[in-house]
Amino acid sequence: MYDPAIIGGGPGGYCAAERAGAAGLSVVLFEKNELGGGCLNEGCIPTKTLLYSAKVYDYARHAELYGVSVEGASYDFSKIMKRKTKVVRKLVGGVKLKMKNAGVEVVKGEAVIRGRGDEGFAIDCGEQAFSARNLLICAGSQAVVPPFPDRRIDFCRLQEMNPEIAAWIWIPGTRIDYPVCLHADDKFYLTHNAEGEKDSCGAVFFSAETEREQLFREPGSVQAGPSSDIGQGTASQDSTLAGKRFPARLILYGHNMRSGRMFGSLKKYRSEEWLREDPAVYLYTPSAVLCASVFSCFPTEDGSEAFRQDLIRNTEDYRNWLEEMAARTQTRSPYGIRPEPGEYCLTLSTCVSGPDPRERYVIHAIGIWRTSG
């Protein structure tokens, strides 16, 4: 019987195996791929090796800046890859030697835990059976993109009803599930519903500064902006938009109705318990879906820094603004959401009952665009 058995030969697993073996314990380590895990074989080490080659090439190209002359600097990608493979094999070999010196039995294959009894764990690997008094699982992780809700918004029908309907907003767990309108005058949809009819409840609407083409481009271009920007996505293929720098965010307004209609549900964000539910904010356009997580919510004045619309993704100005908004939040998410300047910001604003007619309550959410359909 082993004590312990360790599943996973990445940094967590092989370091634990080495320490346990050095302490005189009988250790078996299961790894279905290569020792070293994703870090040594696929992630940290290979990428840093490739980056170092790129850095050396860049130094050679700009050697004159350092008073050095290098003529005809070039690279051979096949040799760069061979060097990367050599580095990886050397480090993996080092891990194997550590396991041998620590007396760890390494079993290559996928371990399956059959059960646990009075004496410990029963484990199968291939056709072999193992038993262990204690078990340590270091199986690593995989990146997962949360699935977007499969909703179909019929924008053709909506725009037949009102051509100014440009999007749809939905926050699960609230009453916010409405079309979003865009008009040249911010005051229009304060007194008109989404069908364009007189209604004191108004409608949810974009800031009048929003450019309609910002919403109806390809989602890749919405996310990335011009091709010179750093980040995901691609530049728009529409020649009329080539090189145009769109703002990094959208601002939506809605009345604070006591019934909870329109943006009356935003008051939920005053509660950390509500944020613990991690309610995503979904904005649907005819070509894409923005899924965003709330990172900041606080009262402010109309026209304050919270409403800036001149921010561009992947700029220092945008990064500083995001950090300022995150610092001002009055309700903190327990998940420590940190906005990045490569992401897209969605701001929801509503009025606040009180003596100051300029007071607003805003929530800022950060997220990514995905193609709809």
What is the DSSP code string of 55-79?
Answer: HHHHHHHTGGGGT----S----HHH
Does residue 57 fall inside a structural domain?
yes
181 with 253, same domain: the answer is yes
Query: At which of 137, 166, 187 does a domain end?
Result: 137
Give strand pairing partners of 314: none
365 with 289, same domain: the answer is yes
> Contact 148/17 with Cβ under 8 angstroms?
no
Closest CA to 266 of 301, 285, 294: 294
Pairwise CA distance, residues 89 & 84, whole Å: 9
Number of neighbouring beta carbons within 10 Å of residue 192: 21
Backbone φ, ψ for residue 150 (5° rounding)? -85, 75
199 with 285, same domain: the answer is yes
pLDDT score recorded for residue 244? 44
Does residue 147 fall inside a structural domain?
no
Does residue 297 fall inside a structural domain?
yes
Query: At which of 137, 166, 190 does a domain end?
Result: 137
100 with 197, same domain: the answer is no
Give strand pairing partners of 112: 124
pLDDT score recorded for residue 123? 93
69 with 27, same domain: the answer is yes
Q: What CATH number is associated with residue 273?
A: 2.40.260.10
Pairwise CA distance, residues 338 & 296, whole Å: 10
Local mean pLDDT, 10-residue blocks, the chain (373 residues): 93 94 95 91 92 92 90 92 95 95 94 90 93 92 66 90 94 92 94 94 92 59 31 32 59 90 88 79 89 92 90 89 93 81 92 85 90 63
166 with 120, same domain: the answer is no
> Contact 348/263 with Cβ under 8 angstroms?
yes
126 with 222, same domain: the answer is no
Opening angle at CA 156, ends 153 and 162, nearest 5: 100
Does residue 150 fall inside a structural domain?
no
125 with 175, same domain: the answer is no
241 with 179, same domain: the answer is yes
Pairwise CA distance, residues 112 & 155, whole Å: 49
Indicate the residue type of 202: G
Pairwise CA distance, residues 41 & 35, whole Å: 8
> Contact 329/269 with Cβ under 8 angstroms?
no
- Residue 118: both structure tokens together: 């009075």
Does residue 34 fall inside a structural domain?
yes
Pairwise CA distance, residues 108 & 98, whole Å: 16
Does residue 231 fall inside a structural domain?
yes
* Structural domain total, the chain: 2
219 with 358, same domain: the answer is yes
pLDDT tens digits for range 291-340 = 899 999 999 999 899 999 888 888 899 999 999 999 999 888 777 788 88
Pairwise CA distance, residues 40 & 85, whole Å: 11
218 with 342, same domain: the answer is yes
Pairwise CA distance, residues 311 & 247, whole Å: 5
Does residue 149 fall inside a structural domain?
no
pLDDT score recorded for residue 269? 87
Helix axes 77-101, 44-61, angle to 10 degrees: 140
Does residue 258 fall inside a structural domain?
yes
- Residue 144: both structure tokens together: 């997962």
Its domain, for residue 11, covers 5-137
